[in-house]
Structure 1
Amino acid sequence: MAEHTAARGLVESISRGFEEFEPPARPTAVDGPLGWPGYDEQRARTTARTGADESVLCGRGWLGSREAVLVVFDFAFLGGSVGEAAGARIVAAFEQARELRLPVISLVASGGSRMQEGICALRQLQAIARACLLTRRDRIPHVTVLRNPTTGGMWAALAAAADVVLASPGAAVAFGGSRVRSAADTGEAFHAEGKLADGQVDQIVGDAELPGALAELVSLLHPQRFVRPPEPAPVPAALTSGELPVTGWDAVQRARSADRPRAQAYLDAYFASRFEIGGDRAGGRDDRMICGFGDYDGRTVAFVAQTGTANTPPGFRTAARLIRLADQLGIPVLTLVDTPGAANDQAAERGGIGPAIAEVFAAVAEARVPITTLVIGEGGSGGALALTAPERTWITSDAYFAVIAPESSAAILKRDSAEAPELAGLLRLRPQDLLDLGFVQGIAD
């Protein structure tokens, strides 16, 4: 192989000390497994032109202060297509990641399965999907970067299966490439920005920012950083005065105050650095549900934070995704509760708000890692309770938690809305009431 190829140049731009893995031995046949006329000559010409002997380069290198396994595609080599040899390299790289306990970083630019190898190329998708699954089961994180273009099987079997999905600005991303879909099918849905809006991509990251973003993710998610079993995330310090509300209605008004500290302020105070992910992987995004991983005193903590609004189905599905990913990797979780209640309009109902909240309840119930909750504002009914950790919940002095908002309580009881303050008292929703009732373990100070 030549000393410098497009893939190697990309590797050198994001890492240092790269060592290529020895490619797995593969049986050879004239013109490939199908005997495709001229296939060997085509490969030879491509190697002479690009300096690469295959469409993927696999090895290990340093990103910041941590090592990772790198799987890098070279689109100049037959459109980054994957046949038997390339598939074997990818699978072997994931095997190395499991043996070495290193995260996987895949940088994908591919048109899919290699046509000249037919079904022998297509079945590589099954082997790659299984390699991704085994790596996930071993609690090894996989971060992918969608480069231009990422289409076909490498999007569906490899990149879309990653734990964190980044994308290059303007990159074409679609299951069907531009040459095989209808000419009328164009637009944002087939590009990275559309995938971001549809919840299939976590962040768009430019080439200049990519080395730093990958180094931060590798540091936060590196398996060697975690202890087993993980200790709970410490309760964040309250950003308020600590004076308790006198009445239930006072508690409600304080929680609704525009001057009250919100989730961003708590996250800024708690974490030295953090990386946010977003999107439910099912077509939706709710940026008012903030999810990600952060560095707290040298430890990685996952977080889900509500921002004082009514969250939508994609928000709850994203929260469930984050909790499950943290549980898979063995990372403790911090949830910040602050919502008047889940969205209940027609769009939310059509989007499956009930099943989405159910996903969060299940993710919390199933989690093997500890979850710590701080209620920092409104705790409105099931939309707040879904993110609340049983037996590890604290509350600030300017927050409340209730089975339903006082105004809605009045409506259900067919009472005048003016009676909401009285009902707030009957609901016993103040922080000190919740402590007496055993719902919270303490009031944060």
Structure 2
Amino acid sequence: MSTGTGPAAGTAGGSAGEAGAAPRPRRWSAREILDLVLDEGSFESWDAPLDISSHAPAYREALEAAAAKAGTDEAVITGRGLVRGRPVVVVVNEFRFLGGSIGVAAAGRIAAAVRRATELGLPLLATTASGGTRMQEGTPAFLRMVEIGRAVMAHRAAGLPYLVYLRHPTTGGVFASWGSLAHLTVAEPGALVGFLGPKVIEALTGSPLPAGVQQSDNLAAKGVIDGVVAPENLSGFLERALAVLVDPPTPPRLPRRDGDVPQDSSAWDSITRTRQEGRAGVRDLLRYGASGTVRISGTDEGERDESMLVALTRLDGQPCVVVGQDRSRQSATSPMGPAALRVARRAMVLAEELRLPLVAVIDTPGAELSKEAEEGAIAGEIARCMAHLTRLTVPTLSVILGEGCGGGALALLPAQRVIATQHAWLSPLPPEGASVIVHGDTTRAAEVAEAQNVRAVDLRAEGAVHHVVPERDDDGPRELAVAVAAECARQLRELADASA
């Protein structure tokens, strides 16, 4: 069954669709969403009755009419329940109650639910459908977004997951506060999602936004959110995410490779092998060696680079965040640029906050060389990735899977443990470039590579690599990916035991 479109929904990084092409989705009620997401009969409301007697008569009448229309006493429902047996705290907007707008009472209810989730040590799921803060309550309601944001960040600081599902429509103060602070954010396909509603923007600026700009599919394509998921598939999506975020490790099942690694293969032979089209990459590692994978897309700040892949997953039963250089998405016309490294730093932040190990996969012919890359701070982003990786307190593992060229490779290298496949290599420049510097042309690339000790076995001898995974001549992508995943899991178990 399809789970929607976009990386978080399980696609392999394709287009999110033509902006503006999808019809507006139906408006699901809060109770319908609860029924879709939570196990039957598991919802426990945390909402105490509200006193509206102090409001002006006209506003009180509006609240009473809204309650009769929506079937809820406010624009938000809070409580706890189970998602496929896993306890979660839920905050659910009801759009039919005054457009899902958040007043003082609703904001207080949200903040209280978030704080209670933190006290109980439970994951938090918020699903929005709102035009923003309530105009009838003005600035006092507007200021309550700060209170909600403070509670959310305390929840994140406690190492607890915060997941957001943006429904149609989500705009204004809700999207600009607690709707944009999640570890993982997905949206309803075709949903209107934006800072201000299109009618308000046109009225204030005198011109409309281009069609499709505020559509969820477009925001996923731009790296603002992680993807789109159909409401009917939200429960299954959440189950996969929570299985990584809260479930303990499971026993290993994949076969490991032991034994000595031959040292008679030349550096140039290894370089040639890793450049072949059929060589196993990070996608193969997730496809054949992982389970329950949930893709995370972009920086969540409006940048996306397909050359860097991030996922919540389990490698041979070990929950982790994987960040990997995707060689299949790197070429002369689409090199790994500064945005890819900012995506990698987001993965590091997620791993640290969620208390999950980080597995960094190195496989790149080199970082982007261009005017845009220089102006986008490519060198600084390499440095910041290295620095950030060295500061992480969670277990960290780097995997030199294939090509390890230049600063782009170094950006993901300084982990607590480093493993490499037998034919992986690491060098400061492409061998051809090093040959130009040393000999004036590219013809002696093989000779230079040999002299630079770029092979995995050389790196192990230097102490830069802790373990080398043997390769076999008949390895296909599946066989090598399984062997690497099994070794990753072993290393993660050892790191966990060492830190216990």
Q: TM-score, normalised by structure 2?
A: 0.81
Corresponding residue number in structure 2 for 1:434 = 459
Match of 2:62 among 42, 47, 66: 42
Are the aligned partners of 1:24 and 1:88 in contact in 2 as well (CA < 8 Å)?
Answer: no
Task: Answer yes or no: is the 8 Å Cα contact 1:235–1:374 preserved in 2.
Answer: no
- Is residue 7 of structure 1 aligned with residue 30 of structure 2? yes
1:421 aligned counterpart, secondary structure: helix
Answer whether contact 2:420 2:469 (CA < 8 A) is retained. yes
CA contact (8 A) 1:251 1:400 kept: yes
Quote the residue 2:224 is aligned against.
Answer: 200
> Given that residues 11 and 18 in structure 1 are in contact (C-alpha distance below 8 angstroms), is that contact kept between their aligned partners in structure 2?
no
Quote the Cα distance in structure 2 between the aligned partners of 1:385 and 1:24: 54
For the structure 1 residues 188 and 438, does the alpha-carbon distance in structure 2 shift closer, same or farther, using more than 3 Å as the test? same
| Cα gap change, 1:8 to 1:391, in 2 (>3 Å) | closer
Return the offset for 1:108. 0.6
Q: Tell me the residue number matched to 2:268.
A: 249
Paired AA for residue 273 in structure 2:
R
* Residue identity in the other structure for 1:112: G
Does the 8 A contact of 2:313 with 2:320 survive in 1? yes
> Following TM superposition, by how much is the alpha carbon of 1:23 offset from its aligned partner in structure 2, in angstroms?
2.8
Aligned to 1:187: 211
- Structure 2 residues not aligned, in runs of 5+: 1-27, 471-500
Q: Which residue of 2 aligns with 1:294?
A: 313
What SS class does the counterpart of residue 174 from structure 1 fall into?
coil
- Equivalent in the alignment of 2:298: 279
Opposite residue 82 of structure 2, the aligned amino acid is: W
State the Cα deviation string for residues 276-334 of structure 1 (Å, max 9, x = none). Answer: 11111222111221111112344311111112234222221111111111111211111
What residue is the counterpart of 1:60 in the other structure?
Answer: 80
Compare 309-318 and 173-182 and name the one that shifted more.
Answer: 309-318
Q: Aligned letter for 1:136?
A: R
Counterpart-to-counterpart distance in 2, 1:297 and 1:341: 29
Task: Compute the displacement of 1:397 (Å).
Answer: 1.4
Distance in 1 between the 2:42 and 2:75 partners? 18
Distance change (3 Å), C-alpha of 1:124 and 1:429: same
Which residue matches 1:211? 235
Moved more, 433-442 or 19-28: 19-28
Structure 1: which 5+ runs fail to align? 228-232
Which residue does the alignment assign to 1:344?
369
Kept after mapping to 2: 8 A contact 1:197/1:284: no
How many Å apart are 1:27 and its aligned residue?
6.6
- Give distance in 2, aligned partners of 1:118 and 1:249: 69
Per the TM alignment, residue 273 of structure 1 is displaced from its structure 2 partner at its CA by 2.3
Write the mapping of 1:26-425 to structure 2, written as runs, cut at 5 A: 28=52, 30-31=54-55, 35=56, 38-182=58-202, 183-222=207-246, 225=248, 244=263, 246-308=265-327, 309=330, 310-413=335-438, 415-425=440-450
Deviation of the 1:374 alpha carbon: 1.5
Task: Say whether the 8 Å CA contact 2:267–2:455 is kept in structure 1.
Answer: yes
Amino acid at match of 2:215: H
The answer (yes or no) to whether the contact 1:236–1:266 under 8 Å persists in 2 is no
Cα distance per residue 1:155-189 (max 9 Å; x no partner): 11111110000011111111111221024213232
CA contact under 8 A between 1:373 and 1:389: conserved in structure 2? yes
Native 8 Å contact 2:386 2:414 kept in 1? no
The structural deviation recorded for 1:414 is 5.7
Name the structure 1 match of 2:489: none
2:440 counterpart letter in structure 1? R
| Cα distance in 2 for residues equivalent to 1:163 and 1:390 | 23
Structure 1 residues 386-434: Cα deviation after superposition (integer angstroms, max 9, x where no partner):
1113451111112111111111112334611112111111111011211
Question: Which secondary structure does the structure 2 equivalent of 1:369 belong to?
Answer: coil
Q: Is the 8 A contact 1:391 1:441 kept in 2?
A: no
> Greater relative contact order (Cα 8 A, min sep 6): structure 1 or 2?
2
Displacement after TM superposition at 1:111 (Å): 0.5
Q: Which amino acid aligns with 2:160?
A: I
Q: Which moves more between the two structures, 428-437 or 343-352? A: 343-352
Tell me the SS of whatever aligns to 2:43.
strand
What is the CA deviation profile of residues 236-280 of structure 1, one whole-angstrom value per residue up to 9, with x for unaligned ones? 9579x9655622222211111112211122222321321111111
Q: 1-side partners of 2:165 and 2:194: how far apart?
A: 14
CA distance in structure 1 between the partners assigned to 2:255 and 2:347 by the alignment? 19
Cα distance change on mapping 1:236 and 1:121 into 2, 3 Å? farther
- The separation in 2 between residues aligned to 1:27 and 1:134, in whole angstroms, is 28
Kindly indicate whether the alpha-carbon contact (under 8 Å) linking 1:242 and 1:396 is maintained by their aligned counterparts in 2: no
| Correspondence for 1:230 | none
Alpha carbons 2:217, 2:227 under 8 Å: kept: no
- Cα distance, 1:245–1:144 mapped onto 2, change above 3 Å: farther
Aligned length: 430
* 2:68 maps to amino acid: A
Range moving further from structure 2, 20-29 or 302-311: 20-29
1 CA distance for matches of 2:99 and 2:464?
58
Structure 1 residues 430, 22: closer, same or farther in 2, change over 3 A? closer
Matches of 1:306 and 1:101 in 2, distance apart? 34
CA contact 1:235–1:373 (8 Å) conserved in 2:
no
CA contact (8 A) 1:55 1:82 kept: yes
The change in CA–CA distance for 1:216 and 1:340 in structure 2 (over 3 A counts) is same
Contact 2:36/2:232 (8 A) holds in 1: no
Question: What is the alpha-carbon distance in structure 2 between the residues aligned to residue 301 and residue 134 of structure 1?
Answer: 22
C-alpha RMSD over aligned residues: 2.4
The one-letter amino acid paired with 1:180 is: V
Identity between Structure 1 and Structure 2 (%): 33
Partner SS for 1:188 = coil
TM-score by length of 1: 0.91
SS of 1:418's equivalent in the other structure is coil
